[in-house]
A and B are shown apart, each in its own frame.
Chain A
Amino acid sequence: MSSLSATIQDVFNEPGCGKNANKSEAERKKGCTKQLQPGGAAGGCAFDGAKIALQPLTDVAHLVHGPIACEGNSWDNRGAKSSGSNIWRTGFTTDMNETDVVFGGEKRLFKAVREIIERYDPPAIFVYQTCVPAMIGDDIDAVCKAAREKFGKPVIPVNAPGFVGSKNLGNKLAGEALLEHVIGTEEPEYTTPYDINIIGEYNLSGELWQVKPLFDELGIRILACISGDGKYKEVASSHRAKAAMMVCSKAMINVARKMEERYAIPFFEGSFYGIEDTSDSLREIGKLLVARGAPAELLDRIEIVIAREEAKAWAAIAKYKPRFNGKRVLLITGGVKSWSVVAALQEAGLDLVGTSVKKSTKEDKERIKELMGQDAHMIDDMTPREMYKMLKEAKADIMLSGGRSQFIALKAMMPWLDINQERHNAYMGYVGMVTLVAEIDKALYNPVWEQVRRPAPWEKAGENWRARAMRQMEAEAAALAVDPVAAEAARREKKICHCKSVDLGTIEDAIRAHTLTDVDGVREHTHASGGCGACSQRIEEIFADIAAVPLAVAAE
């Protein structure tokens, strides 16, 4: 376990991670193990994260060492696509039983590796540690080493048992496993000045393939995609790439940065969501390749492709304008996506009534303002009720969000479209944005809405549950409006830090009581921002708000 905790420390010290870089050393040591509240938490574990990050390596056998829950409940639930081998879709697990827990599961693990090699002969096996074998002290590193020597095949330990932290930490630990055991262990058959790596892209719904034709046309070779549609040998020899693109998610920042450090492969962070972003990413890749010795004419060729593809995409999207006239969209997603798709939606003639900024950075927010105007409706965090209210009051005609909030829209009889990871459509690149717009059209104009919203013949007007819910919300709002004390209490109750469950009132009090001036101070006194760090932005806004209010109020 000591090597695991060392790896975790190392990951937390990652200088490339913006969130960590903003923390004090002591806070960094605590790490971003987002210790969510018991009974108030949702989301995966580190094992889940490691598996998500590595499973798109499609020709590898992914063997989960643990009781049946870890693989039996979860296998084959990701929509990454493969251009070749499908062994990644096979669920392998040691299915530890009681005897293994008592006597140790190492022998069973070793036998399992042998069975896989005998029957499936994959180019490599990844062995995932889970909580129970970690607790009883099964040393998967040693078993993998023994198996590697015995069978002459890469057997890679992935040390990310669920209880060490969040999904995101698991992503990073998976990256560490690649850095330590895979990357740089083989050589590519040949190299070109146009070799790039794509890091942190999972080819969900085959999205990468929407962009790949452009690379092919430009003669840019994806030496390895880590890990979407990845092949073991490609990843093992990815250290010979000339440049790398880190796809929006920060899940594998450690891989990108350490590959830069070890193999001098420069990288940038980019996205293929949104038309402008796709163009920017292509330009950036061109620049890095030219800086590493590719002929400068590449840049001109890229501009030609961009001009052609953008024109095609905008023309395709513009066709929807008449149909979208007056239609409003509520966009509930996070980070880059909160603005990267905005331009396309606007071009199609849709009105954006709001976009969520829960996971967005300061820069993301600036971009939103730039696109949607200063009074852009940025939604910090919405309760299901508020989302429902927005849809119901026809402030929005359609909601775009992740799968978790789908039932709010659907049970409110409102169109909904999945734009997060479980979606079935690919939205990447120029063609992807056109697809997105087409999907919105399909959802908005489906005749089903008219049917399902029709009340039952025996239902009295205004007496269904939706009407009751609305009335209840209105009554609550009215009560708050006439009662300034309750309104103030409600305002103060707003959660700012979700990890440590700290509300606005607590932070305001701390700021005033201790005359705090920065986020560090707030963290010290309230524990806010001691988790994932996403709320530091919101805390800065609180400082700004307090500064805007005359001191007299504070002094009362």
Chain B
Amino acid sequence: MAKVTLGKKACSVNPLKMSQPIGGALAFMGLRGAMPLLHGSQGCTSFGLVLFVRHFKEAIPLQTTAMSEVATVLGGYENVEQAILNIHKRAKPEIIGICSTGVTETKGDDVEGFIKLVRENHPEVKDLPIVYVSTPDFKDAFQDGWEKTVARIVDVLVEAPKTQTRRDPARVNVLPGCHMTPGDIDELRTIIEDFGLEPAFLPDLGGSLDGHIPDEFTPTTIGGIGVEDVAAMGYASWTIAIGAQMRRAAEAMQRKTGMPFRVFERLCGLAPNDEFMAFLSEISGRPVPLKYRRQRGQLVDAMLDGHFHIGGRKLAIGAEPDLLYDVGSLLHEMGAHIDAAVTTTQSPVLERLPAEDVLIGDLEDLEKLAGDKGCDLLVTHSHGRQAATRLNIPFYRVGIPMFDRLGAGHQTTVGYRGTRTLIFSVSNLIIEDHENNHEPTPETWRDGGHAANSVIAH
């Protein structure tokens, strides 16, 4: 439905986009005992680190090969070698995940070759799992980095099952997109387990970045899926991919293990969750638990209550493709019109977005479109706060980074329950905006009437 256009500006103003390597690094953070390592200069890592600390409000494991100017020109073998050895010695990780950056890609470092050489020269790291992903900063966006990294983890770490007969019908693999928060993962785990299934999440940010208090001090991730659990994923019966971005990883899983997969492009909204429940019921052979029948009723009720407020809203939304499609579609289903949609990178879901246009652009574009079209609801990550202030419209935060509010990791939008929460939060925001900015006063009907007044109020 939507026409996708690519912004033509030379200067990106107020970026919506974040870089590929940190998307990849975050994916590695869903593995247990992991140390993500960016192959680039120190700043590449420190910016990512600060971003994640501010978002999750947790200690974040992330290392750098600390490429200097000279090392960059000469090639980074020694830095990669030293980094691996140092991390191995100090942090004792179960896995090191390496993402390249713009500098090392421009130079053209052969990191796979480096890793091979490091393993040959240093027996102590011969068997240490190391996964490398090529993620130059000058291509694609955060979501692509996540997507490539998960697919790569599947390629490298999942073992092809030696025999099909050992497949366990109760086990399912879940490949969540980067738009799933630790809270979303927890919710999905509960839902799937309630059908008597045993889900394995790759990556599992629910285990590593949910803010729990760790059992010991460790410089690596404190939870998530273990390397051996990833290796054994081939013995499950199904792969469930969440978000169109995860199709690539699901296909990799199928190639490697012959496992069937199903992609759920959305899990926010009534219809997508009906489909999801039906699917779980089918593969588990169990009826949908009473709990979810009740939750479905509650969601329907929330939709009825919320549509008064969300209905007719002119929505301006900026997010990475899968998140945009997920939340944008739900709000559309609640009666909002997506009048301004901006995203970061290409994706097949963009064309299916219920809007006329989607622009691959920045927050300046979103702000301009929102202003031109008279939008009265802004949905994007925390960087949208300046635009919302200038436009004086209600602002709902979704995605990464969310640094100016607490609880980013626990914000939940999946399932009947998550969708209900989202509807209530957005509706309440709109009600509050009405109370603060649009209450009728004795002056309301003077000089051109209510309409003029509400325009001034904007």
Q: Is B337 an interface residue (CB 8 A)?
A: no
Q: Is A98 an interface residue (CB 8 A)?
A: yes
Contacts beyond the supplied A42-B64, A75-B14, A135-B107: 20 A-B pairs with Cβ under 8 Å: A36-B66, A39-B90, A43-B46, A45-B42, A48-B47, A67-B138, A69-B22, A69-B101, A69-B102, A71-B12, A72-B12, A73-B22, A86-B386, A90-B386, A95-B17, A96-B138, A131-B40, A132-B102, A162-B42, A166-B42
Taking a contact as CB atoms closer than 8 A, the residue among A38, A68, A76, A116 that contacts B17 in the complex is A68
- The reply to whether A38 and B216 form a contact with Cβ atoms under 8 Å apart is no
How many residues on B have C-beta within 8 angstroms of the other chain's C-beta atoms? 69
> Known: A38-B82, A45-B42, A68-B19. Is A116-B48 also a contact (CB below 8 A)?
no
Contact with B along A47-90 (1 / 0, CB 8 A): 11000000000000001001111111111110000000010011
- The reply to whether B69 and A161 form a contact with Cβ atoms under 8 Å apart is yes
- The reply to whether A38 and B50 form a contact with Cβ atoms under 8 Å apart is no
Between A and B, 29 residue pairs with Cβ closer than 8 Å are: A37-B82, A38-B67, A38-B82, A42-B46, A43-B42, A45-B41, A48-B43, A67-B138, A68-B19, A72-B15, A72-B18, A73-B18, A74-B50, A75-B15, A77-B51, A90-B14, A91-B14, A92-B11, A95-B12, A95-B362, A112-B10, A114-B10, A131-B40, A136-B106, A163-B41, A385-B217, A411-B213, A411-B214, A472-B216
* Chain B residues, CB < 8 A from A111: 10-11
* Chain B residues, CB < 8 A from A524: none
* Chain A residues, CB < 8 A from B326: none
- The reply to whether B138 and A132 form a contact with Cβ atoms under 8 Å apart is yes
Q: Which residues of B contact A (CB under 8 A)?
A: 9-15, 17-19, 21-22, 37, 40-51, 53-54, 58-59, 63-69, 71-73, 78-80, 82-87, 90, 101-103, 106-107, 136-139, 141, 213-217, 362, 364, 383, 386, 403
> Known: A91-B15, A98-B138. Is A75-B9 also a contact (CB below 8 A)?
no
> Known: A69-B101, A465-B214. Is A135-B47 also a contact (CB below 8 A)?
no
> Known: A47-B43, A411-B213. Is A41-B66 also a contact (CB below 8 A)?
yes
- The reply to whether B11 and A39 form a contact with Cβ atoms under 8 Å apart is no
Q: Is A94 an interface residue (CB 8 A)?
A: yes
CB contacts under 8 Å to B, within A136-164, are 136, 161-164
Cα–Cα, bound, A69→B72 (Å): 17
> Known: A162-B43, A165-B68. Is A42-B11 also a contact (CB below 8 A)?
no
Taking a contact as CB atoms closer than 8 A, the residue among A42, A72, A388, A403 that contacts B19 in the complex is A72
Q: Which of A63, A77, A384 neighbours the largest number of chain B CB atoms within 10 Å of its CB? A: A77
Q: Is A101 an interface residue (CB 8 A)?
A: yes
- The reply to whether A39 and B83 form a contact with Cβ atoms under 8 Å apart is yes
> Known: A92-B13, A98-B139, A135-B107. Is A469-B46 also a contact (CB below 8 A)?
no
- The reply to whether B15 and A131 form a contact with Cβ atoms under 8 Å apart is no
At the interface, is chain A mostly helix, strand, loop or mixed? helix
In the assembled complex, the CB of A63 is this many whole angstroms from the nearest CB of chain B, namely: 7
* Chain B residues, CB < 8 A from A219: none
Q: Which residues of A contact B (CB under 8 A)?
A: 33, 35-48, 63, 66-77, 86, 89-98, 100-101, 108-116, 131-132, 134-136, 161-166, 384-385, 388, 403, 407, 411, 465, 468-469, 472
In the assembled complex, the CB of A83 is this many whole angstroms from the nearest CB of chain B, namely: 17
- The reply to whether B86 and A101 form a contact with Cβ atoms under 8 Å apart is no
- The reply to whether B15 and A112 form a contact with Cβ atoms under 8 Å apart is no
